[in-house]
């Protein structure tokens, strides 16, 4: 039993500074005897000795294995500790855990990604996975649109990925809450980018970001006629075991670590969740 709580050792191969608060850590598991795979949307429990453990979404697609990206915002003890680490340092990883985005249902649909801040991390895994599928298969998603909101221009993260996605035909629309003289793009909340022409009957929306953003984005999507089952989002709760054993992430009859973190809005609506009520 105890083995499932012992993390595997992973080495930091590369660090990308995404903005002042967010870094992407490119990791590789050291134990090559254990096969490792995951699905976009799943998370890992990241640990550093004496600093604890935290749930972190995998931000790279499974197609990038054996490399695994974790995009981490400095928030507290553990995340500040990893921000002080360098290439070649070691961390612990357990997982993967949780539900994934249903990428098998995406072919034939338009995908609308709506993210705020670090919320782009789990969606990045899905987006890169879908673009990879587009390259290798005919029966793939139709139109891909990304709406991405940041507080200020300096807060815009994942700029390298966004440039790459634009070159791959993704319609990327960025907005900042507070503009500056050098910014010629949109200023305002991400909900203001949600125009009726963006939603088609084939659209599946994937929403990830701060709870308040998720709440207003979902309300707008419903106004625009998006069905409750075609809105996918993720819930964040503090986690301990990550695998349905400790009850720490309990929420109205669900354990977010095993029943989520990915939920449809139709599922969320049935739960008594403070941030969405």
Ligand X SMILES: Cc1cc2nc3c(=O)[nH]c(=O)nc-3n(C[C@H](O)[C@H](O)[C@H](O)COP(=O)(O)OP(=O)(O)OC[C@H]3O[C@@H](n4cnc5c(N)ncnc54)[C@H](O)[C@@H]3O)c2cc1C
Q: Which residues bind ligand FES (CB under 6 A)?
A: 239-242, 244-249, 255, 257
Q: Work out what residue 57 binds among ligand FES, ligand X, none; the CB cut-off runs from 5 to 8 Å by kind.
A: ligand X
* Distance from chain centroid for Cα 214: 13
Nearest to 222 by CA among 276, 153, 156, 275: 276
Nearest to 49 by CA among 73, 74, 81, 17: 81
Q: Which one, 116 or 203, has the nearer CB to ligand X?
A: 116
Nearest to 178 by CA among 159, 150, 158, 217: 150
Q: Work out what residue 246 binds among ligand X, ligand FES, none; the CB cut-off runs from 5 to 8 Å by kind.
A: ligand FES
For the bound state, the minimum distance from the C-beta of residue 110 to ligand FES, rounded and expressed in Å, comes to 33
For the bound state, the minimum distance from the C-beta of residue 11 to ligand X, rounded and expressed in Å, comes to 19
Q: Work out what residue 241 binds among ligand FES, ligand X, none; the CB cut-off runs from 5 to 8 Å by kind.
A: ligand FES
Residue 121 touching ligand X (CB under 6 A): yes
The Cα–Cα gap between 234 and 223 comes to: 20
- The burial of 13, by beta-carbon neighbours within 10 Å (0-12 exposed, 13-18 middle, 19 or more buried), is given as middle
For the bound state, the minimum distance from the C-beta of residue 70 to ligand X, rounded and expressed in Å, comes to 6
DSSP code of 139? S
Residues forming contacts to ligand X in the complex (CB under 6 A) are: 43, 52, 54-57, 71-73, 75-79, 118, 121, 236-239, 261
């Amino acid at each position: 039993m105890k083995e499932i709580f012992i993390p595997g050792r992973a080495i930091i191969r590369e660090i990308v500074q995404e903005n002042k608060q967010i870094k992407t850590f490119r990791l590789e598991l050291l134990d090559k005897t254990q096969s490792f795979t995951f699905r976009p949307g799943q998370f890992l429990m990241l640990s550093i000795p004496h600093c604890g453990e935290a749930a972190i979404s995998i931000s790279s697609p499974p197609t990038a294995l054996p490399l695994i990206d974790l995009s981490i915002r400095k928030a507290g003890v553990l995340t500040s500790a990893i921000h002080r680490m360098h290439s070649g340092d070691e961390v612990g990883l357990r997982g993967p855990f949780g539900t994934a985005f249903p990428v098998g249902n995406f072919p034939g649909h338009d995908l609308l990604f709506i993210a705020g801040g670090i919320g782009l991390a789990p969606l990045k895994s899905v987006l890169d996975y879908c673009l990879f599928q587009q390259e290798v298969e005919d029966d793939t998603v139709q139109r891909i649109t990304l709406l991405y909101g940041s507080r200020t221009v300096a807060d815009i993260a994942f700029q390298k990925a966004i440039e790459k996605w634009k070159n791959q035909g993704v319609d990327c629309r960025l907005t900042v809450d507070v503009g500056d003289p050098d910014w010629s793009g949109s200023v305002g909340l991400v909900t203001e980018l949600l125009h009726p022409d963006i939603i088609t009957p084939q659209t599946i929306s994937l929403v990830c970001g701060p709870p308040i953003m998720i709440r207003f984005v979902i309300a707008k999507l419903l106004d625009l006629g998006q069905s409750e089952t075609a809105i996918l989002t993720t819930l964040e709760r503090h986690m301990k075991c990550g695998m349905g054993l400790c009850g720490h992430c309990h929420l109205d009859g669900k354990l977010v670590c095993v029943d989520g973190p990915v939920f449809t809005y139709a599922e969320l609506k049935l739960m008594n969740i403070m941030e969405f009520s």
